[in-house]
Structure 1
Amino acid sequence: MTIVDRVQAILLKPKETWPVIEQEATDPKAIYTNYLIYLAAIPAIATFIGLSLIGAGAFGISFRVPIVSGLVNMVVGFVLSLVMVYVLALIANALAPTFKGEKNLLNAFKLVAYGSTAGFVGGIFSLLPALSMLGVIAALYSIYLIYTGIPVLMKAPEEKAVGYTAVLIVCGFVASLVVGAVSALFTGGGPGMMMGGAASSSDQVSIKVPGTEITLDTAKIEEAGKKVEEASKRMEEAQAKGDSAAAGKAMADMMGAAMGGQGGKPFAPDLLQTHVPDKLAGMERTAIEARSDSAMGMSFSSVTAEYTRDNGRVEVKVQDLGAVPALGMAMGAWAQSTVNRETQDEVERIYQKDGVSFKEEYRKDGSSAEMSVMLANGVMVELTGDNVDMDGLRGALAALDVKGLAGLKREK
């Protein structure tokens, strides 16, 4: 199911769609990378365009948020909205027994992620600040979506769904205040920042949270702001001349700069493919796809290959995230963390070795395992094993030309 189909289904037929979502074999990582990062970008980008490029006004007075401040708010808002989904999922899972439901973190995450669809899509109204109230109405519909999903995903009786939803929303509101306070630490915390005041004289602003440290490079944000302004002027000139092609290109350049721009020339898919062998740790390659994509003035590339032997299967995916800073930030955020979690059935570890970040997740019975490696040049290697244990997946990684991938040099 494509992302468009899922959005239409959950918005138009929520009661029929929730049972389908419950049966889907997935995990939070897949929902983030295949669904949430795209939807969360809608309100973030629309708000930036509405307040920094179009501007707001009333009673004959108009204003625009400075480009740099708007970019900072866009990036921080995007990241924290993704964080908020997980926070609400934790709350929804914790509340389940109180309303005679069943605790299930994956289902709680599905509930919040897909239930938030209306609010994220409604963020498009922020393109015109005067219509932003319509976005609030769309967010109210998300409450209804969560209400209809609670009996299906959290197994709470229907008569408890109203109370469950109400308490979840109240707790979510309190959590949003905390997240808003964190956002203020990033953005400068008030009108001074919004109106162009400097939050720091340093080129970088950092904040430490449990398990990681996040850094905003204000010099790069300022550079991106200048590119957005230049593209905006070119778009206005092209529109004045009636040159729709040039206006479209300028719009793509402007959106690309707003999302962090191109971090350099992406590695060609054919080049990435040379580092993906025909055989991997005794397994034959049964499928391979190398592709490049472009959107909003940015280009990126990836290679996906499948290897099988007997009943075991390993999928290898090599993605060039370094060419798109915003994409790298969203998909590689885990690389800044250190995690060591173990339960009776599963193990999760994130660690750094020789300047490379590793992430391992596997079931102790050997039925499944996942491994991700983030290289310093922005290339991410992901391995997923079915009926392959963690040692087998590590052996598959060792058989890959990871050293060659790490040695690729990006052209500016």
Structure 2
Amino acid sequence: MALLQHAFGIMTNPAAEWISVRDDKSSFKQVFFSHVPFLALIPSLAGFYGVTQVGWSIGDGEPIHLSVNSAISLCALTYVALLAGVFILGEFINWMSRTYGVTDTEERRHHAGTALAVCVTTPLFLAGIFLLKPSMWLNSLAMITAGAYSIYLIFEGMPIVMNIDKNRAFMYSSSVITVGLVLMVTAMIGTVLIWGMGIGPVYID
């Protein structure tokens, strides 16, 4: 229930939800493991169904599908990458906190960094439901919209959760966004390397 409340709150009333996140006394493990493993299932399972059961078309051609075994491998790798990405982003937020004047205890900063990473990536996880229908335009629009809202959440939530003034929070948020972009590029490069090792998609008619 807490998972649904946080996911719903961050999408509908972020200002109030950030205060709730700031006042939450949950540990790092509770924050991470009660949210991310479940949210990461959304794009992974939706993507699996989309590429194996629905397929995608190029022009007026017949839909292209991936084999089940190939899709399982790729979706499993995606799931692990999503878990790792949120964890690493949270660690970077925590690591940069002293630079931007966060004075909370180490435990509190660790909780706040992880909570921020979980909350700002929630729109991207939820947008993964659109992978049920593989379409470059639909999926791109969904991810761009979710990404824009995630950026808004970072700037909105940083001064509240980290309890710092807006000027420092702006610079802090900009740094977090830069780290997020670097992680995304790293994931793309990793995907290319994995495909180059022969663990790429296997198509079926």
Task: Please classify the TM superposition score into its range, dividing by the shorter chain length.
Answer: 0.7 to 0.9
The answer as to 2:164 corresponding to 1:163 is no
Structure 1 runs not aligned, ≥5 long: 197-412
Q: How many residues align?
A: 195
1:45: which partner in 2? 45
Q: 1:110 to 1:37 in 2, by over 3 A?
A: same
Instruction: Provide the residue aligned with 1:410 in structure 2.
Output: none
Aligned to 1:229: none
Q: Is 1:137 aligned to 2:137, yes or no?
A: no
Determine helix, strand or coil for the equivalent of 1:144.
helix
1:82 matched residue in structure 2:
83
Distance (Å, rounded) in 2 between the aligned partners of 1:144 and 1:102: 24
Hey, what does 2:202 align to over in structure 1?
195
Q: 1:121 to 1:140 in 2, by over 3 A?
A: same
Counterpart check, 1:113 vs 2:118: yes
SS at match of 2:57: strand
Cα distance between partner residues in 2 of 1:169 and 1:162 = 11
TM normalised by structure 2 equals 0.84
Root-mean-square deviation (CA, aligned residues, Å) is 2.2
1:76 corresponds to which letter in structure 2? Answer: L
The correspondence of residues 92-131 of structure 1 with structure 2, limited to 5 A, is 92-102=93-103, 104-130=109-135, 131=138
Distance 1:180 1:162, change over 3 A: same
- Distance in 2 of aligned mates of 1:52 and 1:10: 32
- Structure in which a larger fraction of residues adopt strand: 1
CA distance in 2, matches of 1:71, 1:195: 11
Contact 2:32 2:114 in 1 (8 A): no
**CA distance in 2: counterparts of 1:10 and 1:107, whole angstroms:** 15
Matches of 1:29 and 1:115, distance apart in 2: 18
Deviation at 1:48, TM superposition (A): 1.3
Unmatched segments (≥5 aa) in structure 2: none
Q: Which has the larger radius of gyration?
A: 1
- Share of identical aligned residues, percent? 24
Q: How does 1:367-382 map to 2 (within 5 A)?
A: none
CA distance in 2, matches of 1:101, 1:57: 50
Q: Is the 8 A contact 1:42 1:123 kept in 2?
A: yes
- Which of 1 and 2 has higher RCO (CA within 8 Å, sep 6+)? 2
Q: 1:172 aligns with which of 171, 174, 180?
A: 180
2:130 and 2:49 mapped to 1: Cα distance?
11
Deviations 1:236-290 (A, max 9, x none): xxxxxxxxxxxxxxxxxxxxxxxxxxxxxxxxxxxxxxxxxxxxxxxxxxxxxxx
Q: Deviations over 1:142-194 (max 9, x none)?
A: 12112211112222321233332222111222133334445556x54478721
